[in-house]
Amino acid sequence: MAASVSVSVVPAAEGLRAVYTSGKTRTYEWRVSQLNAMLKIATRHEKDFVVALNSDLGKHEHEAFIHEISAVTSACRMALKELHRWMKPEKVKTSMTTFPSSGELVPEPFGVVLVISTWNYPILLSLEPVIAAISAANAVVLKPSEVAPAASEAMAKLLGQYMDASAVKVIEGGVQETTALLEQKWDKIFYTGNNKVGRIVLASAAVHLTPVILELGGKCPVIVDSDINLTVAVKRLISGKWGCNSGQTCVSPDYVITTKPFASKLVDAISSELERFYGKDPVNATDLSRIINSRHFERLTKLLDEDKLFGKIVIGGQRDKTNLKIAPTVILDAPLDSLIMTEEIFGPLLPIITVNDIRDGIDLITSKEKPLAAYIFTNDKKLKEDFVQRVSAGGIAVNEVTIHLTDPALPFGGVGESGMGTYHGKYSFEAFSHKKPVLYRGFTGEISARYPPYTTRKLKFLKAAMSGNIIGIIRALLGW
């Protein structure tokens, strides 16, 4: 099996390199044709994607469309609209040191790139990076996640049908295929997933000095202050947690921090809004995605069943093993050394940690690894400023969760354990471009003081010229 995997991966990579070297992918026309093809896929085959996402994740059409398909069409449309502007070299002002001269920054593709995608937003997290790679004129291999097989198959079929297969390839498979791919030399790798595999990707990339973007995860905290519009806050919280693939989302609130006096109000509000959203039998709500597979289901139930959590479940806890559903579950004051408070949850379980002073919440957050996102609900200006200043995360949202992702003006990516590099909007184009500085000179503007033989007088002149010292320049020229 391994031999035949390498046999298909190696020629695929070599084929792409030959096509890239021919210059085909660099033209404006090619990029536009591919972006238009991708747009056709996302608009004509919306139903196919909705069905695949439902099959893999039990994802409701609402989420399939809003979170994945419409984001893909948006990315295509933005790239089509902005491509001319993004491709244009950026003129740069040059200084006295190189006078007379002009300079510009020329964006060029890295070359042949690898996109490794994941299972929770399999369409979005595969196609958006591919769109980025194409708009920047790279040839690209997409490796979708085998954990979401229907989406993987749909993408392999549709991209095979609509895209220029000589420069845009989909390679399906599992660990073996990914390993074979990582042995090849790529000019850039874009990986979305967890930090264990992220380390493997980085180590493989090191062999070829390949630059890498890692979109990882982390425990995204939410501080909930008192003296806020609690109903709105809770609706947004629920929407960002359970309304995003049952919490299986890299930027979902992982855990909440609030003050001891406020906790019961918060729990009551969550309970009541959860019922408004999902009814009295949430385990069977079709609006909620199921857990992706039994491995993750076991992982999540293990978090809930840990002794340390006994008696602390205040909402939910019901589960349906056959259908891989877990009800929206809230745990109050799980110990900080419990499993649920030390690993990324990635599921429909929400611990609430209570503190005496809301500011202690910031200390708790900064004692942990840097997450992909951090959130705070507050009307307290000073607390807000303190939070923004002290909490390092990929991104921050105030009085909102997760939607900062949807704004193309904001770069999306992690820091520390949550990743490196960013994309979205024009950052997507930049993620896959090398900005090459070019300095233009003519044959005039010679300063002979630059050249040997070196003399004290020449050095005096240059020192004066560099410090803008006119008298010094004249003195040096006159030999004083």
Partner 1 sequence: MAVCVETAAAELRDVYSSGKTRTCEWRVSQLKAMLKIAIHHEKEIIEALNSDLGKHEHEAFLHEIAAVRSACRMALKQLHRWMKPEKVKTSMTTFPSSAEIVSEPYGVVLVISTWNYPILLSLEPVIAAISAGNAVVLKPSEVAAATSSTMSKLLGQYMDVSAVKVVEGGIQETSALLEQKWDKIFYTGNSKVGRVVLTAAAKHLTPVILELGGKCPAIVDSDINLTVAVRRIISGKWGCNSGQTCVSPDYIITTKDYASQLVDALSSELERFYGKDPVNSKDMSKIINSRHFERLSKLLDEDKVSGKIVIGGQWDKANLKIAPTVILDAPEDSLIMNEEIFGPLLPIITVNNIKDGINLITSKEKPLAAYIFTNDKKLKEEFVQRVSAGGIGVNEVTLHLAEDTLPFGGVGESGMGSYHGKFSFDAFSHKKPVLYRGFNGEISARYPPYSPRKLKFLKAVLSGDIIGIIRALLGW
- Which sequence positions are flagged as catalytic? 215, 250
| Length of the chain in terms of residues written | 480
- Kindly state the smallest distance separating residue 287's Cβ from partner 1, in Å: 4
Find the binder of partner 1 among 55, 101, 166, 194 (CB under 8 A).
101
- Kindly state the smallest distance separating residue 441's Cβ from partner 1, in Å: 4
Q: Would you say 7 or 207 has its CB closer to partner 1?
A: 207
CA distances from 18 to 43, 141, 187 (A): 31, 14, 14
Cα atoms in the 13 Å half-sphere on the side-chain side of 411: 16
Q: List phi, psi (to 5°) of 345.
A: -75, -55
Which of 256, 294, 278 is closest to 327 using CA atoms?
278
**Cβ pair 66, 239 in contact under 8 A:** no
Considering just the CA atoms, what is the radius of gyration of the chain in Å?
A: 27
Q: Is 108 in the site for partner 1 (CB under 8 A)?
A: yes
Binding track over 58-97 against partner 1, x by CB under 8 A: --xxxx-xx---x---x-----------------xxxx-x
Q: Is 380 in the site for partner 1 (CB under 8 A)?
A: no
CB within 8 Å of 386: residues ≥ 6 apart: 359, 362
Find the binder of partner 1 among 229, 264, 323, 469 (CB under 8 A).
229
- Kindly state the smallest distance separating residue 240's Cβ from partner 1, in Å: 10
Q: Would you say 30 or 277 has its CB closer to partner 1?
A: 277
- Window 13 to 32, contacts with partner 1 (CB under 8 A): 21, 23
- Window 178 to 207, contacts with partner 1 (CB under 8 A): 187, 195, 198-199, 202-203, 205-207
# residues contacting partner 1 (CB under 8 A): 97
Q: Is 472 in the site for partner 1 (CB under 8 A)?
A: no
- Window 420 to 459, contacts with partner 1 (CB under 8 A): 420, 422, 434-443, 446, 450-454, 458-459
Q: Is 244 in the site for partner 1 (CB under 8 A)?
A: no
Find the binder of partner 1 among 80, 150, 228, 283 (CB under 8 A).
228
Q: Would you say 165 or 403 has its CB closer to partner 1?
A: 403
Q: Would you say 232 or 470 has its CB closer to partner 1?
A: 232
DSSP class per residue in 120-182 = SSHHHHHHHHHHHHHHTT-EEEEE--TTSHHHHHHHHHHHHHHS-TTTEEE---SHHHHHHHH
Find the binder of partner 1 among 411, 457, 472, 475 (CB under 8 A).
411
Q: Is 416 in the site for partner 1 (CB under 8 A)?
A: yes
Q: Would you say 342 or 366 has its CB closer to partner 1?
A: 366
SS (H, E, C) 443-467: CCCCCHHHCCCCCHHHHHHHHHHHC
User: Could you give the CA distance from residue 56 to residue 148 in angstroms, rounded to a whole number?
Assistant: 5
Stretch binding partner 1 (CB under 8 A), from 27-35, 124-132, 264-272, 391-399: 391-399
- Tokens describing residue 328: 């929206």
Angle separating helix axes 456-466 and 470-478, nearest 10 degrees: 160
Binding track over 271-310 against partner 1, x by CB under 8 A: ------xxx-----x-x-----------------------
- Window 208 to 227, contacts with partner 1 (CB under 8 A): 209, 211, 214, 216
SS3 content of the chain, % helix, strand, coil (to 5): 50, 15, 35
- Kindly state the smallest distance separating residue 279's Cβ from partner 1, in Å: 7
- Kindly state the smallest distance separating residue 420's Cβ from partner 1, in Å: 4
- Kindly state the smallest distance separating residue 460's Cβ from partner 1, in Å: 11
- How many C-beta neighbours within 10 Å does residue 60 have? 19
SS (H, E, C) 239-295: HHHCCCHHHCCCCCCCEEEEEHHHHHHHHHHHHHHHHHHHCCCHHHCCCCCCCCCHH
Q: Is 105 in the site for partner 1 (CB under 8 A)?
A: yes
**Cβ pair 292, 119 in contact under 8 A:** yes
